[in-house]
Amino acid sequence: MKTWFAIPLWQRVIGALILGIIVGRLWGPDAESIKIIGDIFIAAIKMLVVPLIFFSLVAGVAAIGDLRKLGAVGGRAMLLFVVTGQISVWLGLFLGTVIAPGSGVDTSAIELGSVPEPNETTWRQMVLEIVPQSPVQVMADVNVLPLIVFSVLLGIGILMAKEDGGPVQKVFDSGAVVMQKVTILVMELTPFGVFALMAWVAGTLGFDALIALSKLVALNYAGCLLIIFVMYSAMIKFLAKLPVRDFFRGIIDAMAVSYSTASSNATLPVTLRCAERNLGVSNSVASFVIALGATINMNGTAMYLGLATLFGAQIFGVDRIMDMMRTTTNVSGDAAVATTVAVMTGEIDTGEMISADDV
């Protein structure tokens, strides 16, 4: 047992991911029998999403102590999310135009689905849905964006109350610390959950279709890797002026969990923990930017949509396999934007980031 815990968590996670792929390919479809372990892991980290965002974001906003600084954090984060999203779309369109992944593909063995009906939600409805009519209902539905709005408003209210808001702020500060400790406990399940999920994916999902659509899948992965290792690296090196290697070492757990779960929201507690503990981003910036990014940052999806638009087919057999990579791209972007904004606003401990003492 001591030997197990002596190994850094990120190494255990990567080992479990690789071992899961090997076991899944050897085991085949019967690997689905252990998927329940992965489902338990996903349920455990989803359990953390609402209380972690709520306590951390309220405590973080109150800790900023200055509404102008809060505006600076939010404005810069939004700008970075919009710019990186636009670049991702252009990259997908460029790759689709140059490589033409749909040419010569035999779709006879591929499960094709009908094109879904367009979303008829108006912009007025979208804006209205951001405002939480019932905070309790928002928490029950795990609706992250209105939860962010309510948490930020509550944090601003504590700031405006000044001394009278002190007792309430202490409650949220304590709650944030407690949720961080609970997150540490749940993260110890990560290697087992990742192993089970990767074995299930490798053993049961879409490999016949994967071969037939190898060009599209390869382009999806190539585009996501370009976003992660070129665009995000440039952001960390030139905007944040921090070591790129230390950044990726710090978020390796979040990348592995996002790849295996294919869910930004499910990965959110791990991303928060990595940003604060490994990258040195302050709780106030990490909780706000990463929670916001889990909702609006879809760089991997934006790149894929640009690519798939030119491909011209809707494929379900390989959707999970490609979604895993898109989610990893999104989560990595959340951490990159949070780190860059933290540097811009002086809310980062660079000593913590370059330290090899990662969780």
In this prediction, residue 209 carries a pLDDT of 53
Is the pLDDT at 91 greater than 70? The verdict is yes
Tell me the β-bridge partners of 315. 112
Is the pLDDT at 358 greater than 90? The verdict is no
Per-residue pLDDT reduced to its tens digit, 113-145: 554 565 666 778 878 888 888 999 999 998 888
Per-residue pLDDT reduced to its tens digit, 226-257: 999 999 999 999 999 999 999 999 999 899 88
- Say how many CA atoms lie within 13 Å of 102 toward its Cβ: 11
Both tokens of 339, joined, read: 């780190």
Both tokens of 107, joined, read: 């779709």
The top-scoring range by mean pLDDT among 42-46, 64-68, 218-222, 231-235 is 231-235
Per-residue pLDDT reduced to its tens digit, 262-304: 888 888 888 999 999 999 999 889 988 998 888 889 899 888 8
Banded pLDDT at 108 (limits 50, 70, 90)? low
Per-residue pLDDT reduced to its tens digit, 9-33: 778 888 998 999 899 989 988 999 9
Banded pLDDT at 80 (limits 50, 70, 90)? very high
Banded pLDDT at 76 (limits 50, 70, 90)? very high
Both tokens of 157, joined, read: 């209210």
Indicate the average pLDDT of the chain.
85
Buried b (16+ CB within 10 A) or exposed e, 11-27: ebbbebbeebbebbeeb
In this prediction, residue 207 carries a pLDDT of 57
Banded pLDDT at 314 (limits 50, 70, 90)? very low
How far is it, in rounded angstroms, from Cα 90 to Cα 325?
18
Both tokens of 79, joined, read: 């700008």
Question: Any residues with CB less than 8 A from the CB of 187 and at least 6 apart, and which?
Answer: 9, 253, 269, 270, 273, 359
Is the pLDDT at 40 greater than 60? The verdict is yes
The matching CATH number, chosen from 3.20.20.110, 1.10.3860.10, 1.10.3720.10, 3.30.465.10, for 9-26+34-102+119-354 is 1.10.3860.10
Closest CA to 315 of 215, 224, 200, 198: 215
In this prediction, residue 118 carries a pLDDT of 55
Is the pLDDT at 210 greater than 60? The verdict is no
In this prediction, residue 228 carries a pLDDT of 97
CB 266 within 8 A of CB 44: no
In this prediction, residue 105 carries a pLDDT of 55
How far is it, in rounded angstroms, from Cα 111 to Cα 108?
8
Share of the chain above pLDDT 70, in %: 87
Is the pLDDT at 185 greater than 60? The verdict is yes
Helix axes 144-161, 67-99, angle to 10 degrees: 160
In this prediction, residue 114 carries a pLDDT of 52
Q: Domain-by-domain residue ranges, the chain?
A: 9-26+34-102+119-354
Closest CA to 48 of 180, 162, 189: 180
Q: What type of residue is 222?
A: A
